[in-house]
Amino acid sequence: MIRTVGFIGLGHMGTPMVSRLVDAGVTVRAYDVSPEAREAFAAAVPGAAVVGSAAETADGAEAVLLCLPNSAIVESVVAELDPAEDSARVIVDMSSSEPLRTRALAASLADTGRVLVDAPVSGGVSGARAGTLAVMVGGPDDVVAGLEPLLAVMGRPRHVGPVGAGHALKALNNLMSAAHLVASSEAVLVGEEFGLDPAVMLEVVNGSSGRSGSTENKWPNHILPGTYGAGFGIGLLVKDIHIALDLAASTSVPTRHAAATVALWDEALAELGPTADHTEIARWLRDQGDVANR
Ligand code: NAD
């Protein structure tokens, strides 16, 4: 198994992912552009070395893992990495990035003998802590096979195709997840106003055909208790579903439902701001009803 890695992006997801790597005996050289994030990470994961730049993470590392907000940031961070022979040859983008930009980045790295693998994740902060993330891997067979034991420390890697395939699948997954959260929120709020107990509704739905990750996890753990702390910001979710919508536009598939879902989330983002937890959409929908009824 790969024993030494660089890791860039120590936010909600990166921090618990590195924590699992360190617990598995992997040597990690970690970096984040934000001093606050570096400080919080150093306190949370004392077993990892925090270095002073993106380039330093790659020194002596077999691979550099990225868990960053978007493709533009991934491209700028990759440009900071040293293409020299003694630096990491494999770069693994675990962010939720844009599949076509990922392919273009992989092609641009090939000149320097480096390989880009996309390995975005699903399962949220709780899945990152538990090491149960779904890891959707795109890249060449031999490189992906070499990475699998490392990725298995963080979750369940599944090789889904060539580079970019993981990012495409991840965006489509989040489109489904965003639609489920809106659908379940509208339905629970309607039931509640009719007089049903939301907890009873969820209990029954979770044994019925309406269930989803939203009814099984987001509603009972983050919305009903009023904590809204899933750890996934609306700004990142809206980025993902626009990636999915762009992907859809490159096909002949009619996606009117997806377009409506994205429009609703765009509105929520404009009102709640990018750092609000995505589960706050339920509160936002409820508040809109309250306003309409006044
Ligand atoms: P986050 O905003 O908590 O963390 C991102 C980190 O990247 C921040 O600490 C930020 O300072 C750092 N960063 C930004 N620009 C940088 C740069 N130029 N150099 C170095 N560091 C830089 O985001 P997150 O919730 O951890 O999500 C990370 C990625 O994982 C995103 O692509 C997101 O869509 C995806 N994702 C998130 C979740 C979730 O539940 N939070 C789940 C699955 C996938």
Q: So what's the pLDDT on residue 110?
A: 93
Domain containing 239 — which CATH number? Answer: 1.10.1040.10
Helices (H), 14-70: 14-23, 35-44, 54-57
Same-domain pairing of 74 and 94: yes
Active-site residue numbers?
170
From the CA of 125, give the closest atom in ligand 1: 40
Out of 7, 12, 76, mutate this one to test ligand 1's pocket (max ligand atoms within 8 Å of CB): namely 12
Q: What is the mean pLDDT of the chain?
A: 97
Number of domains within the chain: 2
Looking at the fold, whether 187 and 112 belong to one and the same domain comes out as: no
- Segments of the chain assigned E as strands: 4-8, 27-31, 49-50, 63-66, 90-93, 115-118, 121-122, 133-138, 155-161
Q: How far apart are CA 149 and CA 277, in angstroms?
A: 32
For residue 243, what pLDDT band results from cuts at 50, 70 and 90? very high
Distance, CA 145 to ligand 1 centroid (Å)? 25
**Final residue before a domain boundary, out of 141, 162, 183:** 162
Q: Taken in order 151, 95, 220, 126, is the CA torsion positive or negative?
A: positive
| CA dist., res. 197 & res. 292, Å (int) | 22
Shared domain for 147 and 173, answered yes or no, is no
Per-residue confidence at 294, pLDDT binned at 50, 70, 90? low
Q: How many CB atoms lie within 10 A of CB 260?
A: 12
Position 290 scores a pLDDT of 73
- Domain containing 139 equals 4-162
| C-beta of residue 116 within 8 angstroms of C-beta of residue 163 | yes
Q: What confidence score (pLDDT) does residue 159 get? A: 98
Q: Of 162, 190, 210, which residue sits at a domain end?
A: 162
- Band of residue 251 on the pLDDT scale cut at 50, 70, 90: very high
Q: What residues flank ligand 1, with Cβ below 6 Å?
A: 8-14, 32-34, 37, 54, 67-69, 73, 76-77, 95-96, 121-122, 124-125, 231-232, 236, 240
Residue 49: give its domain's CATH number: 3.40.50.720
β-sheet bridge partners, residue 63: 5, 90
Shared-domain flag, residues 37 and 90: yes
Does residue 193 share a domain with residue 139? Answer: no
164-186 per-position pLDDT tens digit: 999 999 999 999 999 999 999 99
Together in a domain, 95 and 192: no
Residues 62 and 198 in one domain: no
Average pLDDT, stretch 7-33? Answer: 98
| Percent with pLDDT over 70 in the chain | 99
Last residue of a domain, one of 130, 162, 194: 162
φ and ψ at 264, to 5 degrees?
-65, -45
Residues 96 and 207 in one domain: no
**Residue 108 to residues 86, 99, 113, 116, 206, Cα–Cα distance (Å):** 19, 14, 10, 10, 46
- pLDDT tens across 132-161, in order? 999 999 999 999 999 999 999 999 999 999
Work out the pLDDT band at 289, boundaries 50, 70, 90. Answer: confident
CA 242 to CA 23: how far, in whole Å? Answer: 36
Q: Looking at the structure, tell me whether residues 31 and 174 fall in a common domain.
A: no
Ligand 1 centroid to 236 CA: how many Å? 8
CA of 66 to the centre of ligand 1 (A): 9
CB burial of 90-119 (b: ≥16 within 10 Å; e: otherwise) equals bbbbbbbbbbbbbbbbbeebeeeebbbbbb
* C-alpha of residue 279 to centroid of ligand 1, in Å: 17
